[in-house]
Structure 1
Amino acid sequence: MTDSPAPSSPWRLRASIRRLVLTLLVAGQTVLASWFLLQVLPYHGGNLVEWLIVGVFALLYLWIAFGFWIAVYGFLLRLTGGDRKSLLKRHSPAELEATELSRTAIVMPLYHEPVAWTLKGLKAIYLDLERSGRLDDFDFFILSDSQNPNVWLEEQQIWRRLVEELGAHGRLFYRRRRVNLNFKSGNVADFLRRWGSQYQYMVVLDADSLLAGETIRTMVQVMNREPQVGILQTAPTIINGRSAFARIQQFASRLYSPLFATGLAAIQMGDAAFWGHNAIIRIAPFMAHCGLPKLKGVGIWRGPIMSHDFVEAAFLGRAGYEVWLEPTLAASYEESPPTLDDELARDQRWSKGNLQHAALMLFAPRLRLAHRFAFLNGIMAYAASPLWLLFLVLTTIAAVQLTIAPIDYFPDGRESPFPLWPEWRPAWAITLVASTMSLLFMPKFLAIADVAVHRAMLGFGGFARLLVSVLLEIVVSVLLAPIRMLAHSHAVISALFNVRLSWAGQNRTEETGWREASVRHLPGLLIGGAWSAFAWTLDPMFFFWSLPVSIPLMLAAPTTVWLSRLQSGEALARNGFLLTPEERAAIPVLDDARRFRDEPPQESPLAPIEQAVLSPVVNKLHCHLARKHARGLKRSVIADELEACIARGYQGMDQGRLSLMLEDAEALAILHRRAWSAAPDSFWGRRVHKLVLRWQGQSGL
């Protein structure tokens, strides 16, 4: 294992030139657009409100222009065969194939995920790697942070079943933390402290991650040939979308991401970001340099770092290692939240983590400038929404001043003897709006051109269906943008006031109900309706200008419900819309995952806790995994809970105390014996009866 980076490749000069060109394009375009806006405003910057409008507009325009030029650069690179200076282009396929593999851990942190569904995905990855014939170089670790006893007991049962099915004894491991400090980063850190020294690399997965065996093998070989690289990040493709919302996200990701990922990778080069999953990490420098400090500021800038991935990439860069994003590493997949509300709930957590990065961006010593900009990019992903909201508020104030207040010919203490006449330039305003819209929508049509150049139209259903799908995605994006604006603004304000957030597993399947959607989006409906009504009283033109924001807010509930429906997504797919190539191609790891997940579940009349207590085989497994010889106060608590559980059952017991009892081998063994001897009309007696009836049914008695 190397603990110091090898001499760096001479890519930094090229990266600096690319970043300089991008900066000039984005800054120049923003200055021009801001000047245009200044000319459009009636007083041309003659009062404070107009200058605030221009300032906020400039920040938003910078953000939009940056994305636009990244996409254009990505399109041009893909048009000419890709970035010739990318990490993967340095080595021919033959050179990589001849490169030895190294000991690698494949780790999947879990927290209250759908257990069978998640671990069947891991089973597909295992089998795909086994097909490559190089399984001996890899071990798999399921790292659980689950606290609900029914969840972690089920995890242990399905892990044991997987080990038997795959013959993975000594290769597929399960470890559960009883105290989940520092969330996912703490989970991975705990693994590294225990087993990190035994491996050279670690491939990190999310619960919804799927990676082909060939991709994993290639990542290890690239890392072995590039000792200065600390993290190699793939660009995951979204798959398995079923609801209309998930299918739209999946389609947009698959169509547009190749342009953005290619352009971003070419700008960042060895200063890329780490996205926390579907990536390979060099363990020794990661352990040496990526320990996360506790922030020492105030509010959200005090305490543990919530969003760890960008920070770890920055710390590796500070230590002299490179972090690369490689979009050409294919067969890397993840999933989208099935509903808009689930996405917004996830964003509430992510926004707080990203805003925390402001302290590191400004004050952490010796970080590379590119990684500070990566922090800024993550912050702007959420801060753009309150900025947009502020822009709307300021324009409303300006409209009120023009409509209600008398014209001020000498604004802000103007000392000139000549009055400042308000001037309207509708043609300039239309030009500015059109140019801004082109920055937002042109990359989508460049993506269609990219698909045509690479002769991939059939994977998206052909040209006509692809075009209709893009137009549908644009309409939905326009409808969702104001909803996201309000939700992200609320998330940012809540984060700044350090509102405590819960950490929960992600919904994978549930639809959004009408009542839930109506309650959640009622504030937006009221705000949108009141704003448009107020705009109508001011000026009809301002009313029409408000409609693209107010109408989506008023339609948020039906939009959210329709998009969450599996039936809506399936209808779109049946008619050939929002298709992606992965749905039409035979990809072994995806086919295996779908087949395993479509298998009928092994039904049981008992909950996992009840199986752990009553089933002799399952009880023996959990006793083997449980702690031995608890003492002192814990022993006393376990004894009290054991007697209560035997007498009344486990339902209604405190989850923490119940877990403490079920984690104890002696208590589990005693509970097993006494439950089987319980009175027939008791809680456990009734469960025993259920289990016996099932056994009799299985044996045909």
Structure 2
Amino acid sequence: MLQDNLLTETAPKLQGDSAMPPERPAPMPEQSLKSLSVGFPRQSTTAGGVTSKVSRRVMVVGSALLLSTFAIYEMLQVFSVAAVTPLEYLVLLLFAINFCWIALAFCSGVAGFVALIKRRFVKAKTQSVKVLTDNVAILMPTYNEQPDRVFSAVETMALDLREYTKDTQEFQCFSWFILSDTTDPTIALAEEQAFWLLRKRLDGRANVYYRRRRKNTARKSGNVEDFCTRWGSAYTSLLVLDADSLMQSQCIVELGRRMQADPDAGLIQTIPYLVKGVTLLARLQQFAARFYGPVIGTGLAWWVQKEGNFWGHNAIIRTEAFMQAAGLPVLKGKPPFGGHILSHDFVEAALIRRAGWSVKIAADLPGSFEECPPSIIDMAVRDRRWCQGNLQHTRVLPAKGLHWISRLHLVTGIMSYLSSPFWLLLILSGLLLALQAHYIRPEYFTDQFSLFPKWPVMDSDRALRLFYITMGILFGPKIFGTLLLLTDRQYVSVLGGRLRIMTSILLEILVSALIAPIMMFIHCGAVFAIISGKDSGWAPQRRDDGSLPWSDVIYRHRYHVLAGILLGYAAYLDSWTLLAWMSPALIGLWIAIPLSAFTASQKVGKWFMAKHLLATPEEVEPPKILLAAANARDEYEASLKEIWNVRMLLDKPELMELHMQIMDKLPTHVPGGKIESMDAIARVKVQEAQTQDALLANLDNKEMGYILGNPLLLQTMQRLPKSITESDLVSIC
């Protein structure tokens, strides 16, 4: 065991001079939203380096506007058979907002569908160099994640990259950094142990480093910024990953080559595939992302061109552009709308483009992977944080100098959560219209003279036709993805034939339709909580098992079931016909509790996996990188069953020496500087302690995590007696 091997060594050492390379400090100035920094926007290095084709925007955005205008006109005609009432105007307004939102996605999907069909017959030309010479830092931020997952992934990618580039020696251009923001002391020590193991296993075959911040200011964006201001200037580019990311070597190298070949490129984003889903919900997400996602992603890349977006990970960024142009401002006021920007990625992309660099989406580049939440509840936790971050973008939208496409990306992010309240209001308004027609006696003759009564009528045929059009627009990307999949002979063969594929598609549509109203209410709750001033906090994500006790599932979904019952009863008050029409949106709410538990179950997910339903090519024929990462993770998991703890640090001087070697070398306190509350509390507790045992019993997790990063407090703690002996008690008496 690693544990035994380490403790039997008389003086364990960390391979390499340090856990981090020598610092290269450089500024990353905070950007103003009211003005541009001097020298921005920069002049492009090459002719047309940051210029996009206007015709593509006209085709997609113009088509979406025309389609929306047509649909809104048709809805107005539905109501205009008679005088339009205020409630009908409200329905019309809500319909317009929601339809414009889905129309843009549909038109983007059409562009993506055509581009993907064309790609089958015409190989796309890409601009890149033959051999990479730029220095690239690959960053793996982590926050209270399982160390076996993170460090095994880094090892696997580093070794595969060395093997892939052994002829060109390009692996020497890459350095790997695990940037920890972990606050849990148990996980922090496990990370150090995993890093020691990583260095031992690699044995100098790759440059790997580790740093844990003492205070996770500004969360992930602050974590990356800390790296940039201390070490970033030594590297031409930053390839940013997430704790669940994996990338094939050809993808990593090609990203570096494309960045080197294009001096105007500020950021290149890949479109990751979802992998390793075990629960039914995770399998649904990865199936949908694999076959419907590329339609939207490719279409988006086709028409936004050099005004693309950043999704926070699996992207390469030019260090110069990032450090000069993407220093995030702190928004005035308190959270949830003030403070540090949570959804930093959209804003960073917008600021980089504002400064005169291009931001591109590499929709043609495969080999980029990530994982997804295993349950509805885990999705809710993640979306709550994303919702707050995206709604913060309302403060960024008016920023001076942003490209209109960048503003559109921000609006898209905002609408991804605001659309739920708008859809709910549309449903409620339509329900009120039906109840009004059923229960409120119409006023056939008004005060104004008329020979004929004013009947409260609608154009039902036109309304039904518009409903079918809306459903076609809404499901358009799924239809395009289905057509592409069913006409791809290779995928049809790999996935077991068209019958199994169609079964998977119908299953995905059915379960997604059941989950959709639950997520609508979850997003509505998140929006209302943020508007009422509640901060989301920052909880680590679960990646594998999504199961929870039944009591927790019932508690989380109690209001969703109640909402479904109330809406169903309101529809029943009008007619059984209306209840039948609304039932597709209500059934998911009625069965929210068992549905949540069912889709979060690994046992259920493995059953579908055994039947090869909702399968993806990466599951049926896993890429080598996924298999290697799984094997490496098993080895790390076995080695980390017994992890270091604080008591071992205090009892083993050689282990404490190793911990000090790995520890961040940033000064713990600047004389005359601001004293943080955590620092003051930890200092008092350490200085007042009589014994190590008493101190350990008196520290909570956050305080212990802080002390583990403070060498002075640790040394003071080391000098304390372990416990009070009988002789000590006698002398005290």
1:648 aligns with 2:685: no
2:655 pairs with 589, 610, 618, which one? 618
Q: How does 1:75-86 map to 2 (within 5 A)?
A: 75-81=113-119
**How many angstroms apart in 2 are the aligned matches of 1:468 and 1:280?**
38
Quote the residue 2:35 is aligned against: none
**How many angstroms apart in 1 are the aligned matches of 2:561 and 2:553?**
11
**How many angstroms apart in 1 are the aligned matches of 2:495 and 2:721?**
57
Describe the shift of the 1:488–1:211 C-alpha distance in structure 2 as closer, same or farther (beyond 3 A). Answer: same
Quote the residue 1:330 is aligned against: 366
Quote the residue 2:208 is aligned against: 172
Q: Is the 8 A contact 1:630 1:664 kept in 2?
A: no
1:479 pairs with 491, 497, 514, which one? 514
TM norm structure 2: 0.86
Shift of 1:616: 5.0
Q: Is the 8 A contact 1:5 1:229 kept in 2?
A: no
Q: Is the 8 A contact 2:181 2:216 kept in 1?
A: yes
Quote the residue 2:54 is aligned against: 16
1:431 aligns with 2:477: no
Shift of 1:670: 6.6
Describe the shift of the 1:525–1:141 C-alpha distance in structure 2 as closer, same or farther (beyond 3 A). Answer: same
**Partner secondary structure for residue 594 of structure 2:** helix
**How many angstroms apart in 2 are the aligned matches of 1:83 and 1:171?**
41
**How many angstroms apart in 1 are the aligned matches of 2:633 and 2:326?**
36
Q: Is the 8 A contact 2:275 2:371 kept in 1?
A: yes
Letter in 2 for 1:161: L
1:663 pairs with 701, 704, 709, which one? 709
1:182 aligns with 2:218: yes
Quote the residue 1:688 is aligned against: none
Letter in 2 for 1:378: G
2:502 pairs with 464, 467, 492, which one? 467
Q: What does the per-residue CA deviation read over 1:266-322, in whole Å, with 9 as the maximum and x for residues that have no partner?
A: 011000001110000000121111111122478744332221111111111111110
Which has the higher mean CA deviation after the structures are superposed, 367-376 or 598-607? 598-607
Quote the residue 2:88 is aligned against: 50
**How many angstroms apart in 2 are the aligned matches of 1:350 and 1:612?**
38
**Partner secondary structure for residue 247 of structure 1:** helix
Shift of 1:253: 0.6
Shift of 1:676: 7.3
Letter in 2 for 1:577: L
Which has the higher mean CA deviation after the structures are superposed, 202-211 or 548-557? 548-557
Q: Is the 8 A contact 1:106 1:140 kept in 2?
A: yes
Quote the residue 1:308 is aligned against: 344
Quote the residue 1:492 is aligned against: 527
**How many angstroms apart in 1 are the aligned matches of 2:340 and 2:556?**
30
Q: What does the per-residue CA deviation read over 1:602-654, in whole Å, with 9 as the maximum and x for residues that have no partner?
A: 25556633443345543321133347898999699547437366233624523
**How many angstroms apart in 2 are the aligned matches of 1:168 and 1:414?**
91
Quote the residue 1:195 is aligned against: 231
Which has the higher mean CA deviation after the structures are superposed, 451-460 or 391-400? 451-460
Q: What does the per-residue CA deviation read over 1:190-245, in whole Å, with 9 as the maximum and x for residues that have no partner?
A: 10000111010000010001111221111111111110110010000000000111
Greater relative contact order structure (CA < 8 Å, 6+ sep): 2
Q: Is the 8 A contact 1:212 1:332 kept in 2?
A: yes
1:528 pairs with 564, 570, 576, which one? 564
Letter in 1 for 2:429: L
**Partner secondary structure for residue 306 of structure 1:** coil
Quote the residue 1:63 is aligned against: 101
Runs (5+) with no aligned partner, structure 1: 681-701
Describe the shift of the 1:8–1:343 C-alpha distance in structure 2 as closer, same or farther (beyond 3 A). Answer: farther
Q: Is the 8 A contact 1:42 1:422 kept in 2?
A: no
Shift of 1:56: 0.6
**Partner secondary structure for residue 650 of structure 1:** helix
Which has the higher mean CA deviation after the structures are superposed, 497-506 or 221-230? 497-506
**Partner secondary structure for residue 182 of structure 2:** coil
Q: How does 1:356-435 map to 2 (within 5 A)?
A: 356-361=392-397, 363-409=398-444, 418-435=452-469
Quote the residue 1:110 is aligned against: 142
Q: Is the 8 A contact 1:460 1:578 kept in 2?
A: no
Letter in 2 for 1:101: T
Percent sequence identity is 32
Quote the residue 1:347 is aligned against: 383
1:449 aligns with 2:483: yes
Quote the residue 1:689 is aligned against: none
**Partner secondary structure for residue 172 of structure 2:** helix
Quote the residue 1:690 is aligned against: none
**How many angstroms apart in 2 are the aligned matches of 1:315 and 1:102?**
24
Shift of 1:442: 3.6
Q: What does the per-residue CA deviation read over 1:158-216, in whole Å, with 9 as the maximum and x for residues that have no partner?
A: 11110111124882111111111111111111100001110100000100011112211
Which has the higher mean CA deviation after the structures are superposed, 214-223 or 163-172? 163-172
**How many angstroms apart in 1 are the aligned matches of 2:703 and 2:380?**
33
Q: Is the 8 A contact 1:244 1:569 kept in 2?
A: yes
Quote the residue 1:698 is aligned against: none
Quote the residue 2:331 is aligned against: 295
Letter in 2 for 1:117: R
Runs (5+) with no aligned partner, structure 2: 1-25, 27-38, 727-733
**Partner secondary structure for residue 523 of structure 2:** helix
**How many angstroms apart in 1 are the aligned matches of 2:719 and 2:698?**
22
Q: Is the 8 A contact 1:74 1:262 kept in 2?
A: yes
**Partner secondary structure for residue 612 of structure 1:** helix
Shift of 1:341: 0.7
Which has the higher mean CA deviation after the structures are superposed, 225-234 or 621-630? 621-630
Letter in 1 for 2:657: K
**Partner secondary structure for residue 250 of structure 2:** helix
Which has the higher mean CA deviation after the structures are superposed, 227-236 or 137-146? 137-146
